[in-house]
Amino acid sequence: MSLAVLLGTLGAGVGLAAGLAFSVRLSGVLSSPLAATLVNFLVGGVLMAALWTLGLDGARPTQPPPGWMLTGGLLGAAYVTLSLVGAARLGVGVSTVAVTLGQLLGALVIPALGWLGQTRQLPSASGLISAALLAAAVALLASERQKVAARPAAGLPDGQTG
């Protein structure tokens, strides 16, 4: 395994958490998670169009893809919206770890069932153990978040949050 690729992937994960924190703030300013998601996709779309126009990936499609492949865009919009709503209610930490658990579960189930053109492959013991540990992390973080939310804010009378 290439260390550079692993570090890049970890960096992408940090970027997801940071992007989610930015999106929570944007959602608050726009008063809508859907509006924040739309802005994120518009900004990202403009950036991707510019990079593609500049030929940074060296590829140009020769024909349009099959329509079913565009489902990824629908799932991407759903991911951003659901992550944003979750982060606003649960916090960025809990939401990010829960999304990671969902990604891991998907990575175990999709090949196990041979969905989406994947070669059938049963989950490994290490994959199942990783999912269990991540589920425990979600439970611990959510429990901590719930305890913190139940405490009165420092210096304020009970029931007031500032």
Mean pLDDT calculated for residue range 151-162: 57
- One-letter amino acid identity for 86? G
Kindly report, residue by residue over 74-103, the tens digit of the pLDDT. Answer: 998 999 999 999 999 999 999 999 999 999
Task: Give the global pTM.
Answer: 0.74
CA 4 to each of CA 1, 10, 104, 119, 153: distance values in angstroms, whole numbers, following the listed order: 9, 10, 21, 27, 43
Mean pLDDT of the chain: 88
Give the per-residue pLDDT at 154.
62
Provide the 10 A C-beta neighbour count for residue 72.
12
User: What residue ranges do the domains of the chain occupy?
Assistant: 1-58+70-90, 91-151
DSSP string, 96-161: HHHHHHHHHHHHHHHHHHTGGGPPP-PPPHHHHHHHHHHHHHHHHHHHHHHHHHHSPPTTS-TT--
Give the per-residue pLDDT at 142.
92
The model's confidence at residue 30, banded by pLDDT at 50, 70 and 90, is: very high
Mean pLDDT calculated for residue range 54-67: 82
The model's confidence at residue 65, banded by pLDDT at 50, 70 and 90, is: confident
Which pair of structure tokens corresponds to residue 123?
């989950």
